[in-house]
Amino acid sequence: MPLLEISNLSKHFAGLIAVADLNLNVHQGEILGLIGPNGAGKTTVFNMISGTILPTSGKATFKSEDITKLSPHQIAQRGIARVFQGNVLFQNFTVMTNVLIGLHLHTNMGFWGALFGTSYSRSREKVLRERAMEILGLVGLSQKADELAVNLSHGNQRLLAFAIALATKPELLLLDEPVTGMNAEEVSAMVSIIRALRDERGITVVVVEHNMRAVMSLCDRIVVLSYGRKIAEGSPKKIAENPAVIEAYLGAEEDVT
Q: Which domains does the chain have, with CATH numbers?
A: 4-248 (3.40.50.300)
Strands 172-176 and 80-83: parallel
Sheet holding 204-208: strands in order across? 80-83, 172-176, 204-208, 31-35, 221-226, 229-234
Read out DSSP for 77-116? HTTEEEE-SS----TTSBHHHHHHHHHHTTSSS-HHHHHT
Q: Is the pLDDT of residue 221 over 90?
A: yes
Q: Is 181 left (phi over 0), alpha (psi -120 to 50) or beta?
A: left
- Cα end-to-end span (Å), the chain: 32
* 255 vs 156, more confident: 156
Under 8 Å CB-to-CB from 201, ≥6 apart: which residues? none
- Assess whether pLDDT exceeds 90 at residue 253: no
Instruction: Please check the confidence at residue 236 and state whether its pLDDT lies above 70.
Output: yes
With a cut of 60, say whether residue 203 has pLDDT above it: yes
Q: What angle, rounded to 10 degrees, do the helices at 154-166 and 184-201 form?
A: 10
Q: What is the pTM of this model?
A: 0.88
C-alpha of 196 from chain center = 15
Q: What is the mean pLDDT of the chain?
A: 88
* Amino acid at the residue 131: R
Vertex 105: Cα angle to 80 and 150 (nearest 5): 95
**pLDDT value for 225:** 96
Q: What pLDDT does 132 receive?
A: 94
The band of 105, judged by pLDDT with boundaries at 50, 70 and 90, is low
How far apart CA 117 and CA 238 sit, in angstroms, is 56
Per-residue confidence band for 249, with pLDDT thresholds at 50, 70 and 90? confident
Q: What is the mean pLDDT of residues 1-30?
A: 95
